[in-house]
Amino acid sequence: MKPSAILTADWHIREDTPTCRTDDFFAAQIKKIEFILALSEKHNCPILIAGDLFHKAKSSPFLESTLMLLLRAYPSKNFYSKRLLVIPGQHDLPNHNFDLIHKSSFGVMIASQMIDHLDSEKPVKSSKFILTGFSYGSKIKPCREASRRLKNDFRSIALAHFLVTESSPKGKSKVLRDFAGATSAKTVLKNNPDYDLIVTGDNHKSFSESYQDRLLVNPGNITRQAADQIDHKPRVALWYAKTNEIEWVEIPIKKDSVTADHLEEQNERDSRLSSFVEKLNDGYEIGLSFERNLKEYLQSNRTKKRTTEIIWEMVENE
């Protein structure tokens, strides 16, 4: 049985090197992307990306052209116009604002027709499934063709970018729900019965959960960019429409290419930047903690729109 799609999220393609990396990180990214593209070519199926294709909304022309050349090396053979079916995450959007998408590297990829940008108003349809995208900042809406799906034996898929955790109330998942407003996978499945498969991005941990024969998959990030992921094994999921099941495929890595030596220094820096980071350090991914806590602070305190935009511009240009 052939897979119907490859489920991924949080590529966070970038030109600079994360502090925790000790290798040629740019070359490592290329290898990971080539691995996924080759997997797509092998199975002749599309790649779904649940947000954060880029690490920065306004990436360099060099990074954009590199991705374009990679995609052209693996021309799509299926009925889709492109190999990548993608929604933008907050990292893809200037100031985390969807209205500014035309000013982003994600917008360049759309204009160059190298990716299929999924719109909630224009689902992608095939004989096996109907796929609807919900970009960062938007909520999952009911599937318009839910009744037709049941009668015609095809699957409905929602691709979304918001923070979802495993349903177990322990450890990091509980902290993320308590302090970052994350939603448990089971809750997401219960609240969206129209979808057989929900693919989410933002949480860099990979996991899957099922509820009443429906499935939620959070693929996680494809490269380790934070020290607390030193033992993380990036992977993607092969999804089979007929059974609505997945098969995890690990992405090859060099385990010793990530170090935690800088961890203490970075924690001290984060603490100096903002006192509210301190109480959440144990529950957030090192390297992304300051940004996520800043987001929560701005949302919970009335901040002028222009002030918020200036803050995000400074963060993105750091």
Residues 240 and 281 in one domain: no
CA distance 22 to 243: 41
Residues 208 and 301 in one domain: no
More confident residue, 76 or 187: 187
Report the pLDDT value the prediction gives residue 264, as an integer from 0 to 100.
61
pLDDT, tens digit, 9 for 90 and up, residues 110-122: 998 888 888 877 8
In the DSSP assignment, the letter for residue 113 is T
Residues 95 and 228 in one domain: yes
Collapsing DSSP to helix, strand or coil, 245 comes out as strand
Residues 31 and 114 in one domain: yes
Residue 95 has pLDDT above 80, yes or no: yes
Which residue, 202, 234, 255, sits at the end of a domain?
255
Indicate the pLDDT class of residue 274, thresholds 50, 70 and 90: low
What average pLDDT does range 36-52 have in this prediction?
Answer: 93
Residues 150 and 289 in one domain: no
Residues 64 and 169 in one domain: yes
Residues 243 and 278 in one domain: no
Domain CATH code at residue 221: 3.60.21.10
Instruction: State how far the alpha carbon of 126 is from the alpha carbons of 7, 45, 114, in Å.
Output: 16, 12, 20
pTM of the full predicted structure?
0.80
pLDDT, tens digit, 9 for 90 and up, residues 197-217: 999 999 999 999 999 989 999
pLDDT, tens digit, 9 for 90 and up, residues 169-184: 555 655 555 555 678 9
The domain of 304 spans: 263-316
pLDDT, tens digit, 9 for 90 and up, residues 14-23: 999 988 888 8
Backbone Cα Rg of the chain = 19
Residue 293 has pLDDT above 60, yes or no: yes
What average pLDDT does range 60-88 have in this prediction?
Answer: 83
Residue 285 has pLDDT above 60, yes or no: no
Residues 97 and 239 in one domain: yes
Report the pLDDT value the prediction gives residue 151, as an integer from 0 to 100.
57
CA distance 19 to 263: 9
What average pLDDT does range 84-93 have in this prediction?
Answer: 93
Please state whether beta strands 235-240 and 5-8 pair in parallel, antiparallel, or not at all (unpaired).
antiparallel
Report the pLDDT value the prediction gives residue 82, as an integer from 0 to 100.
66
CA distance 247 to 250: 10
Residues 223 and 276 in one domain: no
Domain count, the chain: 2
Collapsing DSSP to helix, strand or coil, 88 comes out as coil
Token code pair at residue 255 = 């385990």
pLDDT, tens digit, 9 for 90 and up, residues 224-271: 988 888 888 999 999 999 899 999 999 998 888 888 776 666 566 666
CA distance 227 to 261: 9
* pLDDT above 90: percentage of residues in the chain: 48
Residues 191 and 98 in one domain: yes
Residues 239 and 267 in one domain: no
Residues 146 and 288 in one domain: no
Q: HEC string of 46-64? A: CEEEECCCECCCCCCHHHH
Residue 308 has pLDDT above 90, yes or no: no
